Amino acid sequence: MSTLAKTATAGATFSLDGKDVPFEPGETILQAARRAGRYIPHLCWHPDFHPQGSCRVCTVKVKGRPGSACTLHASAGAQVESNTDALNAERKTLLQMLFVEGNHFCPSCEKSGNCLLQATAYEMNMQDMLFDEFYPRRAIDASHADLLIDFNRCIVCELCVRASHDIDGKDIFAIAGHGMGTHLVVNSLSGQLGDTGMALTDRAASICPVGAILPKRRGFVIPIGERRYDPRSAADPGVQEAS
């Protein structure tokens, strides 16, 4: 962006649900909203990575047209709708679909209280399942010495794919299939995590927002009730995404 454009944008704001939100040149609607302490639900977005808008949970309306807040750049004077009954109903439906197409048993999950999917469902007041549960038969990969993958909980957010490629430089993960068959795969001849160069210290090992990628021998180290989303909601500006 040119110096002239930066100067023209400086001090600019857009309206989010009727309240002005300041933004810096190049910021997306979601970035500016978060910096201002305003909550827009999201799952696949993370501040460390380039947004891709795959989960659609952060969908907002600008001039009546829907778009992903994580990919739409803020513009001066824009009228953005997010916290509306219609958009929240769509988000709730998306969350319900994620829950039924996998196997998410929150009370017994080690990630309970630290799970962004669970916390967002609470925030959207998702109290029941609109659809029949699929109960798919998915594998658990425990071949790695320090990590395991429970494919039952994967929501295909691609954060581990991006972390492994962009930060770790290893390309351990990839996404295969399409439509309902879209799924996470491990890049090794055997398809097993144990046959890759992934390390416990890799960024991809800790980026998962749900309970799909977990370290071994560390279950329930933080007691239930003391976890990230136990005392605070996903809408709290002090709560961060997966570390």
Residue 135 and residue 210 in one domain? yes
CATH of the domain at 129: 3.30.70.20
DSSP classification of residue 165: I
Instruction: Specify if 36 maps to a domain.
Output: yes
What's the pLDDT score for residue 201? 98
Three-state SS at 29: helix
Residue 200 and residue 110 in one domain? yes
Helices (H) and strands (E) in the chain, counts: 5, 10
What's the pLDDT score for residue 8? 43
Residue 123 and residue 199 in one domain? yes
What's the pLDDT score for residue 127? 85
What's the pLDDT score for residue 48? 93
The model's pTM is 0.91
What's the pLDDT score for residue 159? 97
Contact indicator for 242, 131 with CB cutoff of 8 Å: no
Positions in the chain short of pLDDT 50: 1-8
What is the DSSP code string of 180-242?
GG-EEEE-SSSS-GGGS---TTSGGGT--SSSSEEETT-TTSSPTTSSTTSSS-TT-TT--S-
**Alpha carbons 226 and 210: distance in angstroms, whole number:** 17
Residue 72 and residue 125 in one domain? no
Which are the contacts of 141, defined by CB distance < 8 A and separation ≥ 6? 148, 149, 151, 186, 192, 193, 194
For tokens 């007041």, the residue is 125
What's the pLDDT score for residue 242? 53
Residue 111 and residue 79 in one domain? no
**Alpha carbons 81 and 26: distance in angstroms, whole number:** 20
Which residue type is seen at 33?
A
Residue 128 and residue 79 in one domain? no
- Tell me the residue range of the domain where 137 lies: 106-215
Compute the residue count for the chain.
243
Contact indicator for 198, 172 with CB cutoff of 8 Å: yes
